[in-house]
Amino acid sequence: PPPPPLPPPLPNPLHVPVTSEVNVVRHSGYTPDMAAKLQLLERGQTYVEENLGKPGAMFWIELSYNEGELRVGLGKLAAAADVPHQLDDEGARWVSWFERKGKNHDWGNVVAFRPAMIYEGRRKVVQITEETLACFLSVVVETCAGCTAAEPKITKRCMEVLREHIKTRHPQLLAANNADNDDEDEEGSEGEGDVCDSYGCSDADGGPSGSESGSGANSSTDDSEDSNAEDGDSSSEDSS
């Protein structure tokens, strides 16, 4: 007679299930995108801890002023060759800053960034400042497929997670909750209507991919079309 079937494998004792795995919701309204956003939200603290030693890793960082609708900026860990001196404080990092390509008050759904440039004498250089780790938000930076590490483009899903994180944990970072809102251009919302939910400059584990251009497995033709359309808008804005 044939041998009896093998018993099912035991669960991995080292695996600690997260909320999104334990509380699996089985209903028609629960979509894979909702599950992906939940996992993205839960990975925030791990993302920060795992990438603090990686030059080029991107983070959301609290600002002391309103940048449109949020009091938050996007920065990356500066390379050792670009910093004025090494820091003695383990609770701080040198940050190389990005700025939004669009200057509307509303950030929109898909947000494109470029290096923030300042003048040192007559020379134009990327702005680099010392920032404390207490200002780093526990939110994964997820970028669109097809963007570059020099000019990252943030996915719609990442923006939704960032807004939710700020709303529930750091409401003081909403410009609407601050009395010193700066006057902003109200012409429209940057990237409004665009959809881009694939990994690009950051890999599936949330860390830098080491590649200049994104090539996420979740990329799609629609993402590329949205990316090209926004690049065209940004080019028009720059030329004006």
Q: Mean pLDDT of residues grouped by 10 in the chain (240 residues)?
A: 70 48 54 77 91 96 96 96 89 97 95 96 95 96 95 96 94 82 43 46 38 34 41 45
Measured distance CA(161)–CA(138) in Å, rounded: 11
DSSP line for 47-112: HHHHHTTSTT-EEEEEEEEEETTEEEEEEEEPPGGGSSS--S-TTEEEEEEEEES--BSS--SSEE
Please write the tens of the pLDDT for every residue from 162-182: 999 999 999 999 998 875 544
pTM beyond 0.85, yes or no: no
Pull the structure tokens for residue 81.
């060759």
pLDDT value of position 99: 98
- 130 CB burial (10 A radius; 0-12, 13-18, 19+): middle
